[in-house]
Structure 1
Amino acid sequence: MWYYEKKLQYPVKVRECNPRLAKFLVEQYGGADGELASALRYLNQRYTIPDKVIGLLNDIGTEEFAHLEMIATMIYKLTKDATPEQLKAAGLGDHYVAHDSALFYNNASGVPFTTAYIQAKGDPIADLYEDIAAEEKARATYQWIIDLSDDPDLNDGLKYLREREIVHSLRFREAVEILKEERDRKKFF
């Protein structure tokens, strides 16, 4: 069921050490609309969704783990040579004291990840609309990080991730239409 190729889904390059950008990226690592929350949401929802879209949730959920790996790599590269003073100046002093350079699932403000981020209503159409919203919020966050970044190498990877969020949103929209047609034919609900 699982095949892991030991390479990133898309190459991650970083021009220079930049803890400030790393702090922003932490939002996509452990925030409410980040990659971990999305992966867990979709892989959880697949158990209560009609067969016609189970594969979609499985595919996108596992891809979100690949995105999480990219974000972790970006954060690592942005902080790998940072001094404690640079981390403190970037607002990562508290993180450094608690975790040194280890990644920890929290958002950019330092709030720890919570399973409250993982939405699942049990109504397939409601869940897919939640998924569309999650993808659109992630797309917006990637754009805002790009807007704050002056690293063209990092931005290349962020643009890739932003585009994948758009694709996922479109796929979920297609799934909603499929399920609405099924509902209207009274095959479920």
Structure 2
Amino acid sequence: MWIYEKKLEIPVRVGKCDLQMAKFLITQYGGPDGELSAALRYLNQRYTMPNERAKALLTDIGTEELGHLEVIATLVHKLVKGATPQQMRDAGLGSHYADHDRALFYTDASGVPWTAAYIQAKGDPIADLADDIAAEERARATYQWLINLTDDPDVIEVLKFLREREIVHSQRFREALFIVEEQYNTRKYF
């Protein structure tokens, strides 16, 4: 159970309507390395962690990833707000418009729908935490590439914030992995 504070983790502003950027950003909404995949991965993996600290960490980061999903959704919504159908088509979002109008839909930047296959859960804490570190590093890299694709300082500010949170998550997972590996090496795990 969580207490939900109805405000975004970071204020989301955009300088202009930018359909191309919205098209690129949607990958962090419904792509394989996006926020939905991360949130569901961590909230699922927490059940097989061998100690309360690791379980709590996955719960906390999974919940934060849901907040990041809201931030990305807000960015995309603001970037497409007021766009005409022709502008959507010109930006390569014609098929999205045909299926969803301007509504958000879980896809990657190429329009491939989200799938549960994006979620990894081996049931082995060492394997899962190592994969979680890699997932956070992929997300960090994606945020950097998204930063490189825009010149809107408001969008860049939000993307830098999200990139930094991915770095923190990677560090926390590294710490948890070290602790779990110690448990495994002293036979406290199995």
TM (norm. structure 2) is 0.98
Deviation of residue 50 (structure 1)? Answer: 1.2
Report the Cα distance in structure 2 between the residues aligned to 1:53 and 1:150, rounded to whole angstroms: 39
Alignment of 1:37-116 (within 5 A): 37-51=37-51, 52-116=53-117
User: RMSD in angstroms over aligned alpha carbons?
Assistant: 0.7
Residue by residue, what CA displacement relative to the aligned partner does 1:108-156 show, whole Å, maximum 9, x if unpaired?
A: 1111100000000011010001101110000000000100101001100
Q: What is the alpha-carbon distance in structure 1 between the residues aligned to residue 67 and residue 74 of structure 2?
A: 11
Question: How many residues align structurally?
Answer: 189
Q: In structure 2, what residue type is equivalent to 1:178?
A: I
Deviations 1:59-95 (A, max 9, x none): 0000000000000000000001111111112111100
Q: What stretches of structure 1 move > 2 A for 4+ residues in a row?
A: none
Unaligned runs of 5+ in 2: none
Identity of aligned residues (%): 66
Post-superposition offset of 1:46: 0.5
Bigger mean CA offset, 14-23 vs 79-88: 79-88
Counterpart residue type for residue 152 of structure 1: P
Give 1:176 shift: 0.5
Equivalent in the alignment of 2:176? 175
Question: Which stretch shifts more, 46-55 or 113-122?
Answer: 46-55
1:18 corresponds to: 18
Output the CA distance in 2 between the equivalents of 1:56 and 1:83. 43
Q: Deviations over 1:13-64 (max 9, x none)?
A: 1000001000000000000000000000000000111123000000000000
Unaligned 5+ residue runs, structure 1?
none
Task: Provide the C-alpha distance between the structure 1 equivalents of 2:24 and 2:102, rounded to a whole number of angstroms.
Answer: 15
* Alignment correspondent of 2:9: 9
Equivalent residue for 2:129? Answer: 128
